[in-house]
Structure 1
């Protein structure tokens, strides 16, 4: 695996754009698209077929960039996490421990907890991957990403998170983090993916959500009791990495809830 080594900060910041790139490498541009834009008159009959080609190119660039990265774990968490937050420190340790366990680290490539995990991976000498997304507000790729792929479409990006990872570590986060976590749970629930551990870090943060799923959704028959076994809880980076690497995402929540 190739990535920044040592504890020094990377010397360059990735260029803004869409495509796949490696640090200190060139940029491969992809076409702009606005798939969800409300059609104006009948023009959509001419433009939407071409958007299919643009979407296809986004999948192709992702497959091409990530096909040979080897084993990897995706790490999710809030873009709003501050560098002085305990969550940031945990994210760094998660990234470092994953690299030491022999896997690459994939994040959304943004700031906050994503930056923390990328930084931990890069400082440990591992492959630090960022899958960026176009947003209405400027976010950009964090400087600790060694291999980056920029996306315009959430669905293409989400496919890469799952296709090239063997599990998820989920740090405290907001709506985006919940979206990624629940989508992964549904994929496991419906057997679209198998042997896919999903580990939530910080019982204090995630506990109320787990309680609500069990006490409301499960109690009303909207979720099967066995679906609680899809996720596991951890309080430390060490525990989270041990769980995700062992692939034992099943027993922790059910066991601790009795």
Structure 2
């Protein structure tokens, strides 16, 4: 999609904004609080019953015949066999692969879907009672962090990077407890990690080298499960704590 393609959308949004005065905007924002509250309440009630889960992130655009889709399905399958459920964003691509693997492995398969103007629609491999829909990204992101025992991050785009860096930031600042953050496919992630080391750490010194200890890079499903199990054994915990 080019900037030219976005022009009609911008025109529509600007026209709508012109039609609203400040009082209308303020009133709508105030009433939106109740919708936000309802999403939190519904999310908490549903997610509190799911048991221990690992979230799998990745691109919605990945096709079923792509190596990353096949690998994500295998990872989810092995995760479910190890005693963890799987949470995804509920949509197509890597999300579908994650739910599909969990479904095939007989594990809990959760989808946190969100309404988007493109790409997003829930996939058929989510447990019927665990398919949640959200209007607000920030509510959905709270559910990912609050109810996950680990993040498995497949190759993806801006949304995937957003979730990755938010999780790292929350752990780094001790706003949440530490949990495994596993990046899959070293050939995909190595450029980003090199940039963090050479620019953020060495040149501008905005990140500490120790912060990279929060991340584990792997290339196989077996390594993902091993990383999860080793982390919880280290703290004398199990998937069912």
- Superposition TM-score, scaled by structure 1 size: 0.79
The answer to whether the Cα contact below 8 Å between 1:195 and 1:247 also exists between their aligned partners in 2 is no
Instruction: In structure 1, list runs of 5 or more residues that go unmatched.
Output: 1-36, 249-258
Instruction: Give yes or no for the alignment of 1:197 onto 2:204.
Output: no
- 1:48-70 alpha-carbon deviations (Å, 9 max, x no partner): 21110110000011011111111
Q: What's the offset of the Cα at 1:168?
A: 0.2
Distance (whole Å) between structure 1 residues aligned to residue 31 and residue 84 of structure 2 = 37
Q: What's the offset of the Cα at 1:245?
A: 3.1
Distance (whole Å) between structure 2 residues aligned to residue 46 and residue 174 of structure 1 = 35
Q: What's the offset of the Cα at 1:138?
A: 5.0
Instruction: Give yes or no for the alignment of 1:67 onto 2:48.
Output: yes
Distance (whole Å) between structure 2 residues aligned to residue 47 and residue 200 of structure 1 = 40
For residue 208 of structure 1, give the secondary structure of its aligned residue in structure 2. helix
- Superposition TM-score, scaled by structure 2 size: 0.85
Distance (whole Å) between structure 2 residues aligned to residue 246 and residue 157 of structure 1 = 28
Instruction: In structure 2, list runs of 5 or more residues that go unmatched.
Output: 1-15, 233-241
- Which contiguous aligned blocks of 4+ residues in structure 1 show a shift greater than 6 angstroms? none
Distance (whole Å) between structure 1 residues aligned to residue 162 and residue 119 of structure 2 = 20
Q: How many aligned positions are there?
A: 212
2:223 alignment counterpart: 239
Distance (whole Å) between structure 1 residues aligned to residue 101 and residue 37 of structure 2 = 33
Residues 86-97 of structure 1: pairs in structure 2 closer than 5 A: 86-97=67-78
1:77 alignment counterpart: 58
Residues 171-186 of structure 1: pairs in structure 2 closer than 5 A: 171-186=154-169
Q: 2:151 aligns with which of 163, 168, 192?
A: 168
1:152 alignment counterpart: 135
| Aligned-CA RMSD value | 1.4
Residues 3-152 of structure 1: pairs in structure 2 closer than 5 A: 40-41=20-21, 42-146=23-127, 147-152=130-135
Question: Which is helix-richer, 1 or 2?
Answer: 2
The answer to whether the Cα contact below 8 Å between 1:134 and 1:151 also exists between their aligned partners in 2 is yes
1:217 alignment counterpart: 200
The answer to whether the Cα contact below 8 Å between 1:168 and 1:244 also exists between their aligned partners in 2 is no
